[in-house]
Chains A and B, each alone.
Chain A
Amino acid sequence: MRCMSSDPHYKQVQTLLQASLPEGGVIADAAGLRPYECDGLTAIRQQPWLVVLPETEAQVAAVLRICREHDVPIVPRGAGTGLSGGARPHARGVVLSLAKMNQIIEVDAHNCVARVQAGVRNLAISEAASAHGLYYAPDPSSQIACSIGGNVAENSGGVHCLKYGLTVHNVIGARVLTSTGQCLELGGKVYDAPGLDLLAVLCGSEGMLGVITEVTVTLLPRPPAVAVLLAAFGDVEAGAAAVANIIGQGIIPAGMEMMDKLAVQAAEQFAHAGYPLDAAAILLIELDGCDEEIDHVCNTVQRLLETAGAYQVQVARDQADQQRLWKGRKSAFPAVGRLAPDYYCMDGTIPRRRLGEMLRAIEELSREYQLPVANVFHAGDGNLHPLILFDANIPGQLENTEEMGGKILELCVAMGGTVTGEHGVGVEKLDQMCVQFSATELTQFHGLKAAWDPAGLLNPDKGIPTLTRCGELGGMHVRQGQLPHPDLERF
């Protein structure tokens, strides 16, 4: 970085940025930059040239204009909780943190919406809306810390998205700045917006299309009645069958989570949630609705669980019991983290009916690579989080883990699924993108990006791999479980 600080070009840009931002709005010293070296994917680190902390939309626009004029890459950053390295800095670039734009502009209960700045924490929205009996439904596990701007950029999910949808389903408006610093207002407090649905494509665009400064989210009334059921199974496939039966009966639970034996044992040791330690898998099901219907639904689901082979079903009707049952699941990641020095979290999605097949394949890979795997699974929507346990201090283990993880993701694609359900591609899954998409599809993605950001300065080298990268990998394209075509594009 020393050479950059003495380079007159960079020096000039830094001066311009400092002039556009309030005192302390530009971080340039090594100690100050350190917290921005990585996001939640801590294995991948890079010190940025500068970090900027604008406090207003006009300041964000000024930063974008200066960077555009001087050809400096920009990496937008929310709370830095992302799990795919989407906010990994660029060595010659600026990290644009939205953390200081943290004002809740308005809770409009009549229209059931809230207008908030991008840096507002996910949970803070529900807290602000609670006075009206309303809440913001998407609840990624990092909701205490993660920001709504980051949620939009990643199209974050959460445990309740089977019933209540992802971020894209719960956001109806946004203000976004393009790489030229121009502000576009998308949607509003209205259900449909005219023209192309720019807001939909902005959701999950990982900071590569524009910088989100403000978001309008929809708020829902809290369901008056909630029940949480825990079912223990002697084998995983019986649990998967139970999930299919419940949905087959026309019941859409608010949440439906599955954990395998290793995950259950780790979570129980950590959280003392009362999970049965002898279970091969447990299902955690949250049902919600009105007071008059909850008993009936609860009984139906209990019966379906038992029919599918659950040997134990606990029903929690009061809040304390419900929180205890959820606590195990919610602490599953840190709990598994205690089993080994490091763990690697995967995020593939598969059609649910192929769960058994997938878990057997993971077991085989686990044996082959000699790396234990704990599985946590959003059972309702097929989103799988295998956690591979390893020790980064043992030479070669990180590489082995990444290789094994890559194979799991490729299996997800082969089974008709996707390499990422909710964590995003970032820098982590670029190689697997070559497996999921053809060269023409990737080219189309790059075309869409260029329409928004012709200079390519917004979060470069993320999300969509270059064709050269895919060619070097010699990646093969497997779609819908078919064998690879012999006539596939290779580079």
Chain B
Amino acid sequence: MSNLLTQAGTQLSEQVQAAKAAGRRLIINGSGSKRGWLPNFGDANGELLSTSEVRGIVAYEPEELVVTALAGTPIRELEMTLAQQDQMLAFEPPQFYAQGTVGGMISSGLSGPSRPWFGSVRDALLGISLVNGAGECLNFGGQVMKNVAGYDVSRLVAGAFGALGVVTAASLRVQPRHQQQQTLHLEMNCAAAVRFCRSLAQQYNPVTGTWWHDGVLSIRLGGSEAAVSASVQKLGGQAANVGTLWQDIRDHKHEFFKASLQVGAHQPSAPLKLCRVILPPAAPQDLPGVEAASLAVEWAGGLRWLWHDEPQQVRAWAESVGGWVWVLGEAASALGNLSREHLALMTEIKKAFDPAHLFVSPLNFAVVETADEPAHAH
């Protein structure tokens, strides 16, 4: 079993070393499903380093709640394996265009609707195998839940968009699937929905997801039969058969995420941009001039999606209440409101893992010193 792991490491390490020797830069690519989020690959010089052939589940111990999979393993394949044992990835990784690999899932750090209740990718991550910019195969963390030996490099790599190296494999904590799941619909406006979600968050209940859009708050409950039905009674509202609602939200297949529908509803002064607004969850939705149809709220208030023609306005508002904005398609915005000091430290960390700047990441911390790109950059 660990042969698979060794082979995968060797294979990717050889590719990295070859590129290093030839002075070529590398763009790490799983299935390419998240490219629309950070599209500045197009103007970068480098060749694709594909992880898609390094795939397979290396180890799975349902009773230990741990699975280890190679980077190129499709998320869907991993989830199917877990489902056979009534288990799941609790952080609900998005699968845009029905695609996505384990490596991409970790590198992007994106989590689905359950994020506030079950944590993010990095929370579930127990260990990784990584090939750094020197082409060295390194292992950090492991397959056990409690492990404080050495710095937690695994979690640092989650969400790093390949800046620190190429993930070969990852071990993840899995969770039992909920015995029962039910969605309630409650009609209310956005302000009321945020307040309602915050009052829910302060009480013990089996909420596993919330979604407000266009005057309706959907609340997903998950857990034991007794807990879910008690909660349905308590919250009232209308129990609904929602089909694939939560997967559609997770994977951006929901109508809200279709730009064409948005454009039809407004006369924007500029093309509408989809803004991923991360806020303190109780922050009021008080950005003026936003129509209900252009707004959706997830994570019990902690994530707001906004179609807007002036992302700068959204950014100023979000930062004024302690949040930040990622404008989809604008790579620089993925660094939010980080200061020069943050970026300088991140640049030093990048250098520690990839001194020759071999890996082209769409997260470019070195914005302050782009002038001195490495000589062999092309």
Chain A interface residues toward B at CB < 8 A? 108-113, 132-134, 154-155, 157, 161-162, 165-166, 168-169, 178, 182, 184, 188-198, 200-201, 203-205, 209, 221-224, 244, 247-248, 250-252, 289-293, 296-297, 349-353, 378, 381-383, 416-425, 429, 433, 436-438, 440-441, 444-445, 447-452, 463-464, 479-480, 482
Contacts and interface: CB of A to CB of B under 8 A. Distances in A.
B205 A290 contact: yes
Contacts of B151: 201, 204-205, 209, 445, 448-449, 463-464
B86 A250 contact: yes
A451 B344 CA distance: 10
Contacts of A349: 144-147
Interface stretch (B16-24, B49-57, B112-120, B262-270): B112-120
A190 B132 contact: no
Contacts of B365: 195-196
A156 to B, nearest CB: 9
Interface string B157-178: 0111001100000000001110
15 contacts: A161-B145, A165-B119, A191-B278, A192-B278, A195-B338, A198-B345, A204-B152, A221-B204, A292-B227, A383-B144, A419-B149, A425-B148, A437-B149, A445-B153, A451-B351
Interface residues of B, number: 89
A355 to B, nearest CB: 11
B335 A194 contact: yes
Contact of B109 (A110, A197, A251): A197
A453 B117 CA distance: 35
Contacts of A252: 175-176
Given A188-B323, A197-B109, A197-B160, 4 more contacts: A133-B203, A247-B176, A292-B226, A420-B148
B202 A423 contact: no
B10 to A, nearest CB: 14
Contacts of B198: 110-111
Contact of A250 (B177, B281, B342): B177
Interface of B: 2, 61-66, 86, 109, 111, 115-116, 119-120, 122-123, 132, 136-140, 142-153, 155-156, 158-160, 163-164, 175-177, 179, 198, 201-206, 223-224, 226-227, 229-231, 278-282, 299, 302-303, 322-324, 326, 334-339, 341-343, 345-346, 348-349, 351-353, 363, 365
A346 to B, nearest CB: 13
Nearest to A190: B278
A66 B342 CA distance: 22
A51 B210 CA distance: 50
B349 A248 contact: no
A193 B363 CA distance: 13
Contacts of B137: 440
Nearest to B325: A194
A200 B158 contact: yes
A188 B280 contact: yes
Contacts of A197: 109, 122, 155-156, 158-160
Contacts of A224: 204
Contacts of A169: 119, 123
- Point out which of B149, B337, B348 has the most chain A C-beta atoms below 10 A from its C-beta: B149
Contacts of A209: 151
Given A423-B148, A424-B148, A351 B64 contact: yes
Contacts of A296: 224, 226
A284 B79 CA distance: 32
A196 B324 CA distance: 15
Nearest to A417: B144
A200 B158 CA distance: 10
A75 to B, nearest CB: 18
Contacts of B336: 193-195
A196 B336 CA distance: 11
B182 to A, nearest CB: 14
List the 9 shortest-distance A-B pairs measured between CB atoms, nearest first: A194-B336, A250-B176, A447-B352, A200-B155, A421-B146, A110-B282, A451-B348, A189-B280, A293-B226
A165 B324 contact: no
Nearest to B178: A250
Given A133-B203, A420-B147, A425-B148, A195 B63 contact: no
Contacts of B179: 250
Contacts of A223: 204
B299 A191 contact: yes
A418 B171 CA distance: 14
B136 to A, nearest CB: 5
B150 A464 contact: yes
A416 B147 CA distance: 11
B324 A194 contact: yes
Contacts of A441: 138-140, 150
A383 B140 contact: no
Given A111-B281, A191-B303, A382-B146, A203 B62 contact: no
A84 B322 CA distance: 37
A162 B144 CA distance: 11
Nearest to B230: A292
Given A169-B123, A190-B278, A351-B143, A448 B338 contact: no
Contacts of A449: 151
Contact of B353 (A189, A382, A444, A464): A444
Contacts of B64: 351-353, 382
A111 B284 CA distance: 12
Nearest to B334: A194
B146 to A, nearest CB: 4
Contacts of A421: 144, 146-148
Contacts of A204: 148, 151-152
Contacts of B349: 196, 448, 451-452
B135 to A, nearest CB: 10
A422 B149 CA distance: 9
Contacts of B363: 195-196
A155 B281 CA distance: 25
B147 A444 contact: no
A444 B278 contact: no
A444 B153 CA distance: 9
Contact of B63 (A154, A203, A352, A381): A352
A420 B144 CA distance: 11
A382 B145 CA distance: 8
Given A191-B115, A191-B303, A351-B143, A418 B352 contact: no
A474 B337 CA distance: 47
Contacts of B156: 196-198, 200-201, 448
A162 B226 CA distance: 22
B94 to A, nearest CB: 13
Nearest to A244: B63
A445 B150 contact: yes
A420 B353 contact: no
Nearest to A132: B202
- Point out which of A193, A244, A419 has the most chain B C-beta atoms below 10 A from its C-beta: A193
A344 to B, nearest CB: 18
Contacts of B63: 244, 247-248, 352-353
B303 to A, nearest CB: 7
B326 A194 contact: yes
Contacts of B278: 190-192
B144 A418 contact: yes
A206 to B, nearest CB: 8
- Point out which of A154, A425, A441 has the most chain B C-beta atoms below 10 A from its C-beta: A441
B120 A192 contact: yes
A326 to B, nearest CB: 20
A293 B341 contact: no
